[in-house]
Amino acid sequence: MPSYVVRRVLGAVVVFLALTLATYIIFFVLPLNRTTGTRVLVDNTNRRPLTLEGPIWQAYVHFLGHIVHGSLGNSFVSRQDVSATLIAAAPVTLSVVIGGAVVCLLVAVPVGVLSALRPRSLLDRAATIAVLVGVSAHPVWIGFVLSYLLGFRWHVLPIGGYCSFSVSSAGCSGPAQWAYHLLLPWATFGILFAALYMRMVRTSVLEVLDDDYVRTARAKGAPEHRVLRAHVLRCALLPVVTMLGMDIGLAFGGSVFVETVFGLPGLGQIAVHSLRVQDLPMLAGVVVWTTTAILVLNLLVDLLYVQIDPRIRFSSVEQPERPHAWRPRPRANFGSLSFVYSRKE
């Protein structure tokens, strides 16, 4: 297991270096000054454009050193520190993405398991319709429908706004108000992603229920809840965890629409505004921060995958072979595959 973790961490570092290099080239090398041909970065101390001479690799090392030290320069428009602005907006986006993923799993896993245990039932048919609606609908449309029904029409939940998780004396704050104002964004993410995961869980559970070890566990008299928890769910959740790691980047991209609909001051709103006013340091900071968050969350998903699938822990451990092991040898017999056992020399 330690070697697996080391390989994953080293892979994340390589991907981070590649993405920061691509970010530097796109935002600070391609938009050259046409008169002088120099690259423009932001001086963090004087808060003014800083012209850097020299080769590209040297300027990139300088840019990477700023990132490592947590300094992303200053905005071209507001002259504010990019790191401070992103640190203030990052909890909003993380709250939307992580909370939406939790809501998605809380809906998709139970409904998918019940649909697999009772195929072609009323619940299974309703889940199929929900899958079609969730796949076809856009997050902006889902957000507007939920805002109109639950916020404007029935006055159940607030339409927009964000409350801090920490308790303060002034304004809207506290865990209760934080969760209350994020229920609609979480529901939007839940409807958007739960449809796909619901169908995936149903298919995985149906496949695992037909395996031999599940039949053996039932034949030995194991309770049904133990069979589902220890045998079925443990293997059926493997593709769900895999897709969850792949969909993290998609969730960060979808947070732009969710934050726009509900007026949340997150990274998506900053990215849209920076792109509109061509604020390159702020936009590059959003890309770097989002890339780092996706890599960290993917690493956590990989570690969770190790805990679910024990075969990964022992994949790098060389198992000793018995001196007189028996192995199957395939032999074709009239177009079919039969096996004869031979003693290994």
pLDDT tens track for 157-190: 998 888 888 877 567 888 899 999 999 999 998 8
* Non-local CB neighbours of 288 within 8 Å, separated by 6+ positions: 19, 20, 23, 67, 72
Check whether residue 148 and residue 264 sit in a common domain.
yes
What's the pLDDT tens digit per position in 16-51? 999 999 988 888 777 655 444 444 544 444 444 444
Tell me if 320 is assigned to some domain.
Answer: no
Q: Which of 53-62, 74-83, 92-101 has the highest mean pLDDT?
A: 92-101
Check whether residue 108 and residue 248 sit in a common domain.
yes
Predicted pLDDT of residue 270? 93
Predicted pLDDT of residue 314? 52
Which range among 68-82, 90-104, 158-172, 240-254 shows the weakest confidence by mean pLDDT?
158-172
Tell me if 151 is assigned to some domain.
Answer: yes
78 pLDDT more than 90 = no
Check whether residue 173 and residue 112 sit in a common domain.
yes
- Are the beta carbons of 286 and 73 closer than 8 angstroms? no
- Are the beta carbons of 60 and 21 closer than 8 angstroms? yes
Check whether residue 94 and residue 46 sit in a common domain.
no
How many CA atoms, within 13 angstroms, populate the side-chain half-sphere of residue 239?
Answer: 15
Mean pLDDT of 83-107: 92
- Are the beta carbons of 319 and 312 closer than 8 angstroms? no
Check whether residue 26 and residue 133 sit in a common domain.
no
Share of the chain above pLDDT 90, in %: 27
* Non-local CB neighbours of 195 within 8 Å, separated by 6+ positions: 130, 131, 132, 133, 134, 135
Parent domain of 24: 2-68
* Non-local CB neighbours of 198 within 8 Å, separated by 6+ positions: 107, 108, 111, 112, 115, 127, 130, 131
CA dihedral of residues 272, 273, 275, 277 (deg, nearest 10): 160
What's the pLDDT tens digit per position in 222-244? 888 888 888 888 888 888 888 88
Tell me if 268 is assigned to some domain.
Answer: yes
Mean pLDDT of 308-329: 49
Tell me if 78 is assigned to some domain.
Answer: no
Q: How many CB atoms lie under 10 A from the CB of residue 134?
A: 20
What's the pLDDT tens digit per position in 281-298? 899 999 999 989 889 888
Q: Report phi then psi at 317, rounded to 5.
A: -90, 125
Going by the DSSP 8-state scheme, the letter that residue 313 receives in this structure is T
Predicted pLDDT of residue 15? 92
Tell me if 341 is assigned to some domain.
Answer: no
Predicted pLDDT of residue 303? 81
Tell me if 326 is assigned to some domain.
Answer: no
Among residues 43, 68, 93, which one ends one of the domains? 68
Predicted pLDDT of residue 1? 57
Beta bridge partners of 42: 49
pLDDT greater at residue 305 or residue 324? 305
Mean pLDDT of 196-208: 90
Mean pLDDT of 92-104: 92
Check whether residue 36 and residue 180 sit in a common domain.
no
Q: What is the CATH number of the domain that holds 268?
A: 1.10.3720.10
Predicted pLDDT of residue 170? 64
Structural domains of the chain, count: 2
Predicted pLDDT of residue 237? 85
Query: How far is 226 from 276, CA to CA, in rounded Å?
Result: 55
Work out the widest C-alpha separation in the chain, in whole angstroms. 83
Mean pLDDT of 268-282: 89
Predicted pLDDT of residue 313? 59
Query: How far is 323 from 219, CA to CA, in rounded Å?
Result: 34
Strand 49-52 relative to strand 39-42: parallel, antiparallel, unpaired?
Answer: antiparallel
Predicted pLDDT of residue 160? 84
Share of the chain above pLDDT 70, in %: 81
340 pLDDT more than 60 = no
Averaged pLDDT of the chain: 80
Which range among 57-61, 142-146, 251-255 shows the weakest confidence by mean pLDDT?
57-61
Predicted pLDDT of residue 13? 92
Check whether residue 56 and residue 148 sit in a common domain.
no
Predicted pLDDT of residue 32? 54
* Non-local CB neighbours of 89 within 8 Å, separated by 6+ positions: 265, 266, 267, 269, 270
Q: Which runs of E-coded beta strand occur in the chain?
A: 39-42, 49-52, 326-333, 336-343
pTM across the whole model:
0.79
Predicted pLDDT of residue 169? 55
Check whether residue 286 and residue 176 sit in a common domain.
yes
pLDDT greater at residue 135 or residue 266? 266
Check whether residue 29 and residue 161 sit in a common domain.
no
Q: How many CB atoms lie under 10 A from the CB of residue 103?
A: 21
